[in-house]
């Protein structure tokens, strides 16, 4: 759950113009590799013209990667920040992507309307995770697949990655790139306030996803990929 004192939507609106640059530099480009890996899992076996939801689409990096891997897929990108979506609209490959300003707690889609859904670094920012996961379960058809890419709270603190990199180095880098100190202090704070990967998997099962699997991603398990259906 996002730290209560933070206006998350306003924060993302402020940093939209520098968001991609900050992500590339702070992750040393690994976020691109993580996203490609997630999409290979998400899109495997999907029929042509299947509808896929990109939840918390931000500046549309996830949507662009879906289109790059499967141009025959219908992509719907939803995010509560119109400014983030507008920043992503200029990217190549998004002409056919439907962009919707939508809240993950109240998705404006019919039951079972999507064959699959992706969410990259979004669920950590949701104020009511059980409600949002129930909504995700509702809009993805029975048996449909979801893939979540996220920074989870580590079950055990790792001195180098958590104490030094995440808590010290990344906020300074993010501040230097974006000019917004609070936004990148929010990053480690929101990770610490969020679920462990195991707790998140349990909440997915409670929401109705029967088959839940996950894996840590290089390096050091900083990010994790969770798939469920």
Q: With respect to residue 1, please indicate whether it lies within any of the assigned structural domains.
A: no
pTM of the model: 0.92
Q: With respect to residue 176, please indicate whether it lies within any of the assigned structural domains.
A: yes
Average pLDDT over residues 195-218: 96
The total number of structural domains that make up the chain: 1
> How confident is residue 155, by pLDDT bands cut at 50, 70 and 90?
confident
172/187 Cα distance (integer angstroms): 11
Cis preceding linkage at 219, omega within 30: yes
Q: Is 137 exposed, middle or buried (0-12, 13-18, 19+ CB in 10 A)?
A: buried
> How confident is residue 161, by pLDDT bands cut at 50, 70 and 90?
low
Q: With respect to residue 144, please indicate whether it lies within any of the assigned structural domains.
A: yes
Residue-number span of the structural domain to which 214 is assigned: 8-228
Q: With respect to residue 157, please indicate whether it lies within any of the assigned structural domains.
A: yes
User: What is the average pLDDT score of the chain?
Assistant: 91
Q: With respect to residue 3, please indicate whether it lies within any of the assigned structural domains.
A: no
Over residues 104-122, the pLDDT tens digits come to: 999 999 999 999 999 999 9
Residue 93: CATH number of its domain: 3.40.50.150
136/126 Cα distance (integer angstroms): 12
């Amino acid at each position: 759950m996002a730290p209560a004192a933070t206006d998350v939507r306003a924060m993302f609106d402020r940093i939209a113009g520098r968001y991609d640059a900050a992500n590339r530099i702070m992750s040393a480009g690994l976020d691109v590799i993580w996203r490609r890996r997630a999409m290979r899992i998400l899109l495997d076996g999907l029929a042509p013209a299947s509808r896929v939801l990109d939840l918390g689409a931000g500046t549309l990096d996830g949507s662009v990667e879906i289109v790059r891997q499967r141009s025959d897929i219908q992509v719907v990108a939803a995010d509560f920040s119109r400014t983030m979506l507008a920043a992503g609209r200029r990217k190549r490959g998004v002409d056919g992507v439907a962009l919707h300003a939508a809240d993950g707690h109240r998705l404006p889609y019919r039951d079972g309307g999507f064959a699959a859904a992706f969410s990259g670094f979004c669920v950590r920012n949701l104020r009511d995770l059980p409600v949002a996961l129930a909504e995700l379960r509702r809009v993805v058809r029975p048996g449909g697949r979801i893939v979540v890419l996220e920074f989870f709270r580590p079950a055990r603190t790792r001195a180098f990655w958590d104490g030094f990199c995440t808590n010290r180095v990344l906020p300074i880098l993010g501040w230097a790139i974006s000019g917004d100190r609070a936004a990148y202090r929010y990053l480690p704070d929101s990770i610490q306030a969020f679920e462990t990967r195991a707790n998140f998997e349990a909440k997915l099962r409670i929401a109705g996803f029967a088959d839940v699997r996950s894996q840590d991603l290089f390096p050091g398990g900083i990010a994790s990929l969770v798939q469920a259906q």
